[in-house]
Amino acid sequence: MENKPSVLTQKYEVGRLLGQGTFAKVYFARSIRTNQSVAIKVIDKEKVLRVGLVDQIKREISVMRLVRHPNIIQLYEVLATKSKIFFVLEYAKGGELFNKVAKGRLKEDAARKYFQQLINAVDFCHSRGVYHRDIKPENLLLDENENLKISDFGLSALAESKRQDGLLHTTCGTPAYVAPEVIDRKGYDGAKADIWSCGVVLFVLLAGYLPFHDSNLMEMYRKIGRAEFKCPNWFPTDARKLLRKILDPNPNTRISMAEIKESSWFRKGLNSKQSKTEPESREVAALGRNGSGPSENSTGVSEPKQESAKPPNLNAFDIISLSAGFDLSGLFEERYMKREARFTCIQPASVIISKLEDLAKRLKLKVIKKDAGLLKLEGKKEGRKGLLSVDAEIFEVTPNIHLVEVKKSNGDTLEYEKMLEEDIRPALKDIVWAWQGEQEPQQQQMQQSH
């Protein structure tokens, strides 16, 4: 790929190498159909499996689908071969912001513009429960119009990653940009840690060098912990005040995103229109007609009435992880048999449960009802590996759409596969809208319901 253009899945002509890391290389490419320039991140699947980064790759995809914003690199699609995973990404023609800073400090207005775009994008991430955790100039790209684009969500965390204390506990990030509470390893608020990193970026943009720097890593950590830094004499007074509030070693008293946006230095040059960079249309997590991921809906979703035994709701992260277009489990599990199958259904949960109970009765299986929306179908005879047990869990996507996951919880996999193909699928065919991975939904019941 480095030497000559090649064609990927008859869709993209892949050209020069743009950069590389331990597990991935990024190439410039062009869409054959539209002639659009894109960047393709090529990940070596074997390396990822070997070092156990499967969940990180899946999380990066889920996060990038959640955070669609003008100042965040967009993920267009994910492709794969037996040995490689390909992220097709928005191409940032201007390269890394780091390259600009490496030539020296920026003018105040340019630094402010990039900082405004960074804060708006990071604040948007936080509103979606996403924390970047590795904000630095190398991960901030520029497009052809010199607009900032956040990239590399490989170390990001979702709100779901928090422990019971409500804090994140994974120590990550780049040492010079990392918040003191992350170094302390006692748990930290992802949003507050990101704010600190944004402050370090602002200092670098205005000064042309790092606020905390030492050849001895432990000494640098000591400086970070005490927020020992000195602003150069060319820093404006209001920028110094803002930096002191952002680079506060105590996360509880550190300035918030809302307060940063109201600060006098931040607001210079902003009019009311520019300050609202969040897309107006609210992205609503719902399975599209082809079951391929989230669809946009400017009106939002009305809250369904509360019922005592209602199936659990799926949030956007769940849907993206499960939906056919972004489920990567097959990329990593192809050498094993699949343990679960999923389908979407436009029938009420009560109808789905009734169908499953009828199936259990016919197959002489015991039905154990667990939580709302979870049924266990258990065999009465010992199989090759004990009693065969199948879990069927129902999730509410919208009031009119349910997603059902059927998976083996005990017993022999071959026996489960046989039951799935010969009994479960045929028995449920009249309520299934589409099995995950199938191209066309089964439309019979859908047509009857309209």
The C-alpha atoms of residue 415 and residue 418 are separated, in whole angstroms, by 5
The C-alpha atoms of residue 132 and residue 122 are separated, in whole angstroms, by 8
| The pair of three-digit structure tokens given for residue 334, joined into one six-digit string | 């192809």
Tell me the CA distances in angstroms from 218 to 88, 171, 221, 446, one per residue in order.
39, 15, 5, 63
Would you say 176 and 213 are in contact if contact means Cβ atoms under 8 Å apart? yes
Q: Is 41 annotated as a binding residue?
A: yes
The C-alpha atoms of residue 91 and residue 288 are separated, in whole angstroms, by 26
Residue tagged active-site, from 44, 109, 123, 134: 134
The C-alpha atoms of residue 59 and residue 157 are separated, in whole angstroms, by 8
Angle, CA of 268, 273 and 277, to the nearest 5°: 90
Count of other CB atoms within 10 angstroms of residue 355:
19
134 tagged catalytic: yes
The C-alpha atoms of residue 293 and residue 300 are separated, in whole angstroms, by 16
| The pair of three-digit structure tokens given for residue 108, joined into one six-digit string | 């105040």
Angle, CA of 27, 29 and 33, to the nearest 5°: 160
Question: Binding site for ATP: what residues are annotated?
Answer: 41
Residues taking part in catalysis: 134
Question: Binding site: what residues are annotated?
Answer: 41
